[in-house]
Amino acid sequence: MKKAFVWILLVFIVVSCQVSNDAPYQSFSVSDYDFIPENYQASGTILKFKTQDNEEVLIETNSYMLKKEFESGISFAQSSNSESFYYDDLWISLKLLNVSSQSVDGYDYCDRIKIHIRKVRDGSLSTQIDLPYYNGTSCGGSSFRGFSLYENLIQMNVNNATYEKVKILVPNDYFTFYDGSQIDKVYYDFDKGIIGFDDTEQNLEFRLTSQ
């Protein structure tokens, strides 16, 4: 009897966790794409950032992966379950060409910027931005996520282009966008991506030269 109960429970778990074709689909809407940097789609594009003295940092578009994913509403850790759903899930990777240390312990933290954009259960948009630092021996990074990302946006004019939805990202310590840098501000436009960054310690302001 005990074995039969365990078998029935296992069948229930498997059936409950199966992907349902009837589940709602939270896809990116037209208005969502105002907050998605589509200019990162083409792999191998070189983005140039220059200071007023023509010092240059290069960032290359590395990957742009959009998938339809499934999230189950079944949770055995909670007393109540929510509705399962499909959702659009986008991962963007950018490569920092002026960072010589490419990986530590097999992880490519040092020379990668990663942006994760997805739809959540209520149909709203979620963005996570991971920016790296390298202290000479190890790599790490800071993650910026949550709905507060979409608050306190500013407008910026950079090299004759106007960006309407700019978020200033400030680390607890610093970012590394080129060897020896201590970037303490990154300007991220939700429509176009990274448009500039500052190394205040060295009095350097890098700005995107063109799109």
Give the pLDDT of residue 107: 56
**C-beta separation of 68 from 25 below 8 A:** yes
Give the pLDDT of residue 194: 97
Position with higher pLDDT, 8 vs 196: 196
Residue-wise pLDDT for 155-198, tens only, equals 999 999 999 999 999 988 889 999 889 999 999 999 999 999 99
Give the pLDDT of residue 135: 73
Give the pLDDT of residue 74: 67
Residues 135, 142: Cα–Cα separation, whole Å: 14
Residues 192, 21: Cα–Cα separation, whole Å: 34
Residue-wise pLDDT for 77-132, tens only, equals 554 567 899 999 999 999 999 988 756 555 566 889 999 999 999 999 999 999 98
Average pLDDT, stretch 11-15? 42
Q: Is the pLDDT of residue 3 over 60?
A: no
Give 8's pLDDT tier (boundaries 50, 70, 90): very low
Average pLDDT, stretch 141-164? 87
Owner of token pair 């990986």: 103
Beta strands in the chain (DSSP E): 25-26, 46-50, 56-71, 85-96, 112-119, 125-134, 139-144, 154-158, 161-169, 185-189, 193-199, 204-208
Residue-wise pLDDT for 176-187, tens only, equals 999 889 999 999
Residue-wise pLDDT for 46-88, tens only, equals 999 999 999 999 999 999 999 999 998 765 555 456 789 999 9
- Bridge-based pairing state of the strands 185-189 and 204-208: unpaired
Tell me which DSSP letter residue 204 carries: E
For the chain, the structural domain boundaries read 2-208
**C-beta separation of 131 from 142 below 8 A:** yes
Mean residue pLDDT across the chain? 84
Which residue type sits at 192? K
**C-beta separation of 188 from 117 below 8 A:** no
Position with higher pLDDT, 139 vs 175: 175
Average pLDDT, stretch 143-152? 79
Position with higher pLDDT, 5 vs 53: 53
